[in-house]
Each structure stands twice: as structure tokens, then as C-alpha cells.
Amino acid sequence: MTGLYSAIQPADSVSLSTRTHGAVFNLEYSPDGSVLTVACEQTEVLLFDPISSKHIKTLSEAHEDCVNNIRFLDNRLFATCSDDTTIALWDLRKLNTKVCTLHGHTSWVKNIEYDTNTRLLVTSGFDGNVIIWDTNRCTEDGCPHKKFFHTRFLMRMRLTPDCSKMLISTSSGYLLILHDLDLNKSLEVGSYPILRARRTTSSSDMTSSSSSGPRTVGSPCHQNDSGPLSEKHMSRTSQREGGSPRNSLEVLTPEVPGERDRGNCITSLQLHPKGWATLLRCSSNTDDHEWTCVYEFQEGAPVRPVSPRCSLRLTHCIEEANVGRGYIKELCFSPDGRMISSPHGYGIRLLGFDTQCSELVDCLPKEAGPLQEIRSLYSHNDVVLTTKFSPTHCQIASGCLSGRVSLYQPKF
């Protein structure tokens, strides 16, 4: 793995006029790796053959505002979301028109997830809402939908690969985890049980219970106007006999090196393909520092009976270049989970848990350690905002602020 990725080089680039599509905000491969889709600032979605680097099609008016995210439901159907508050469904076999447009959000839609078992589409936006869409009953007029969850300052939402957990990051530095997830059950305000929601009084308390784990704090959710969760609500249902209740909520503020007393914004959120860990890109509230951090999921009993159990433990981190302040940089895991591709200035960095690109479970440190730089690749003339591994080929794509898409693959 190390030799393969160390040999990776800029292979080709696709550079179209920035006057038409603007910055590249998101990249997504089809599950079979045959199509690379590009979400653009100026209402467009671009489609390419990633093997030949040939342009397939431009959806010139995919939306009425910025296109933020793309998610494939299978090898032919994909969904896009936009600042125009809508989600659009598309079929690769008939790209001249949308399958349907979904209306339900009241602000910019930033994230799309999909549960392949239930065929439920899950979206989140800056209106603070997580909405569930039933694609089993999709028509030209849209899909039946319901509001599933709401929180203030919502940035990103992800499902674990087995859809047993939902993670939500916020611009105020909170990470929310819904355990034992049931997407068929709507969560009204105050209806979800709170797990491990005790406020820790100091970082030393946190250290004694979990050496580098996140600090557990009050919730940013709309419980009342007075601030954090009330004691009455926290004690109402903490844990059922023999396990956690469905959709139980854990609220954390993940520790970020050097930012303990300054606060941070969790701008990007990804999950390990085997569900072992979560990957965060965090920036300080003053926007002068940026970090990439890996947190291992911890299951089982608390370290100490008197301590709240934290489901995440910081294992690896690295400080980023902090170029292009104010822009969100989307990073990702490789399909096997051994490597991270992270935007770094005008290029990307390939990062490993050790210098041999070992599995995370084989190199878990007792205390948080640095991510190892395997290779740096620079082929852009502007700030890189997003990067993605191909699910089927040894290839990486990156997109930048000026609209260029670069492809990288090994050269021997």
C-alpha cells in the first residue's frame, strides 16, 4: 500500500471555464467507479469518465444556486442538493431531465446520505433540519418526507456504514451521535433519550476518565431557551436495562489539539468505511488554525462507573495549512480505510496512521499521536476544497476554488 500510494502522481486534469461553473465544492464517484460527478458553485453538475478523463455531460441548470453535495443511490441514480433549498434526483440513463425535485428544507441543503437497506434518503441543511425521504414511493412530484431531527448550527450529517448511528457536527464545536438509529421514528424536540450528557467540569476530569477522549457537554439542541439540557431531562431516561434505547442522543465536544480553551467549528465530517472511526476537519473560532483529527469509536462500559461513557477517543491528528480561510475543505478516507486524502493549500496530502499505511486497529496509540504524511501532491493554482478516492481504482480526484478538477494515479 505504501509503495502504491507513494508512486501516485498527477495523471490528468479537467479544466473548464470558471465563467460557467465556478468553484468545485464536492466530488463523488459512482459505486462502480465508472462516473465522476462534480458539484459546482454556479448551479452546474459535471460528469466525467474518470478513466479516460473525458467529459460526459454538463447539467447546466441542475439547480438555481450553488450545488453542494452529490450522493449515488446505486450505479445509475444519484441525488444532488443545493443552496436553492432543494434536492434533485437524476438517472444516468436520462440526464436531460430530473427524475424529480424534493422540497422540504427552508435553507441551504448541504448533505445527503442514503440507507440502502430501507431506501431512505437523508438530507441536512443550514435550517438545522434532518429530513427523511422515502424513495420507495417516489413520483414525478417528489417523495413522502418527514422531519427527523433538528439542532442549531448544523454543519454536516453522516450515517455509519451499517446505518446504526447518525453523526451530526455543528459550527459551535458540538458532535451529536444518535445511537441504535431508527430512521422510521421521527424525533420531536425533547422526545429522544439523552445518554452520557453530563457536563465535565475540567479537562483533567476528562483526562482521568479517557486519556484523549472528547469532553461531554450540554446539548446545542432546542430543549429550552435557557441553554444546556436540564437535569430533569438528563435523568429522565439515561439507559435501559441491557442496552441503549433507540435513537439515544450523545452530545460531545471533541478535543482538538491546541484549541481546548478557544472553541472550534467542525466543518467536515467523514466516517471510516468499516465504521471504526470518524474523521473531522476542525477550524478555530478565530479561523487561524485548522486540524484534521481521527476519533476511534469506543463501545462497551464506561472506563469508570462514575464517568459518562464517551463513544469517541482522539487517536490521530495533524495541523493543516489553513489556506483559504472561510472555505470548507472536504476530506475523505480511502475505500480500505488505511489512508486519508486531505486538502492542503493548493494540493492534497495523503495521510496514514503510520508510515506503512497500516489498518487503524493495528496502530492505535495509548495517547493521541500524529498522522503520518505519505505523500503531498500539488497540481492546482488555487485552494483545493474537496478530494475523493475512487471506490474501484487506485485514483484520487481533487477540485479547487477556481474550478479545476485534477486526477491522480500511480506512475511507475
Cα dihedral 286/288/294/296 (nearest 10): -30
On whether residue 222 sits in a domain, the answer given is no
Long-range contacts: 41-47, Cβ < 8 Å, 24+?
A: 41/66, 41/67, 41/403, 42/66, 43/67, 43/82, 44/20, 45/70, 45/80, 45/90, 46/14, 46/16, 46/21, 46/405, 47/92, 47/95
CA distance 359 to 350: 15
- Domain range for 325 is 1-198+247-410
Amino acid letter, 121: L
Strand locations in 248-395, DSSP E? 248-253, 264-271, 277-284, 290-297, 312-319, 332-333, 339-344, 347-352, 369-370, 372-378, 384-389
On whether residue 211 sits in a domain, the answer given is no
How many domains does the structure of the chain reveal? 1
Instruction: Write the CA distances from 314 to 21, 28, 292, 303, 320, integer angstroms.
Output: 38, 27, 11, 15, 17
On whether residue 324 sits in a domain, the answer given is yes
Amino acid letter, 136: N
On whether residue 25 sits in a domain, the answer given is yes
CA distance 246 to 163: 13
pTM attached to this predicted model: 0.84
What pLDDT score was predicted for residue 12? 64
Q: What is the CATH number of the domain that holds 280?
A: 2.130.10.10
On whether residue 212 sits in a domain, the answer given is no
Instruction: Write the CA distances from 317 to 182, 303, 350, 377, integer angstroms.
Output: 32, 23, 13, 19
End-to-end CA distance of the chain: 14
What pLDDT score was predicted for residue 18? 46
On whether residue 254 sits in a domain, the answer given is yes
What pLDDT score was predicted for residue 188? 54
pLDDT tens string, the chain, 412 residues long: the values are: 667 777 777 776 665 544 568 999 999 999 999 999 999 998 999 999 998 888 999 998 899 999 999 999 999 999 999 999 999 999 999 999 999 999 999 999 999 999 998 999 999 999 999 999 999 888 888 889 999 999 999 999 999 999 999 999 999 889 999 999 999 876 554 455 555 443 322 233 333 333 334 433 334 444 333 333 333 333 333 333 345 578 999 999 888 876 555 557 899 999 999 999 999 998 876 667 889 999 999 865 444 333 445 688 999 999 998 888 888 999 999 999 999 999 999 999 999 999 999 999 999 988 899 999 999 999 899 999 999 999 999 999 999 999 999 999 887 6
Q: How many CB atoms lie within 10 A of CB 171?
A: 18
What is the rounded radius of gyration, in angstroms, for the C-alpha atoms of the chain? 21
On whether residue 233 sits in a domain, the answer given is no
Longest CA–CA span in the chain (Å) reads 64
Strand locations in 60-161, DSSP E? 67-72, 77-82, 86-91, 100-103, 109-115, 120-125, 129-134, 145-150, 154-159
What pLDDT score was predicted for residue 373? 95
